[in-house]
Homo-oligomer: A and B are copies of this chain.
Amino acid sequence: MKNITGSKPLNLSLYRLALIHSSVAIQTPNQNFRLSNERLEYLGDAVLGLIIAEYLYKKFPYKDEGFLTEIRSRIVNRESLNQLAHKIGLTELIEYETSIQIRGNQSIAGDALEAFIGAVYLDRGFLFCRNFVLKRLLQAHLDLDKIIQTNLNYKSLLIEYAQKNGKNIDFVLIEEKSYRNTTTFTVEVRLNGKSISQGMGQNKKKAEQAAAEKALQTLNVSLK
């Protein structure tokens, strides 16, 4: 554990619990309650959510909450957490029923990492845990620039393009059509007030993405 957090755990049993997958949960005298890392995962998910939210909030003072939410979800998504768990050597320590992995449970490692973060939080408090997450996970193992670039958020790419070229870009909701249970949104992209593309989608965000993608094609902007 010390190798992972950089400091000796105070309450080792928390870290042990974080590594017990529900497939090998321990039966307790309380019939309806079995000990596994699921509760710690629930807590760690919230801890990680706040730490990354604050980190991005401060790092990008001029980005809107849509950008922040998007980048956070790329950092804390299942695949990213699985990879992080492997990189810090957590995966080998997890106890689980081996038959389970074969059946395709793909989040054992990432879930255990969240539980581990929950354990660090309970054991050492918020500030220590924040430092652990930022230094030993985020900065040590994630390439934030790459995460942001690997983007394909067409809307933000378009906005970026407009900024660089000193142009005004507007996303205008021009239609919202409901039929039975389905609503279709149509959004128009205007460059310096002139319509250059339209996109449709089942919500405003999707319509914006579709419209932005077309606009980028029209403008011949290459995607990184």
Contacts and interface: CB of A to CB of B under 8 A. Distances in A.
Interface in A31-76: 31-34, 38-39, 41-43, 45-47, 49-50, 53-54, 57, 62-65, 68-69
Nearest to A22: B182
A79 interface: no
A97 B180 CA distance: 9
**What number of copies of this chain does the assembly contain?**
2
A11 to B, nearest CB: 14
Contacts of A27: 181
25 contacts: A25-B181, A27-B181, A28-B62, A30-B62, A31-B168, A32-B162, A32-B163, A33-B62, A33-B63, A34-B202, A38-B65, A39-B65, A41-B65, A42-B53, A42-B69, A43-B53, A43-B54, A43-B57, A45-B53, A46-B49, A46-B54, A47-B53, A49-B49, A54-B121, A126-B126
Interface in A148-172: 159, 162-163, 168-169
Overall SS of chain A's interface = helix
A144 interface: no
Q: Which 9 A-B pairs have the closest CB atoms?
A: A46-B53, A42-B65, A46-B50, A38-B65, A50-B50, A33-B62, A126-B126, A46-B49, A43-B57
A182 B23 contact: yes
Contacts of A159: 32
Interface string A169-210: 100000000001110000000000000000000110100000
A39 B24 contact: no
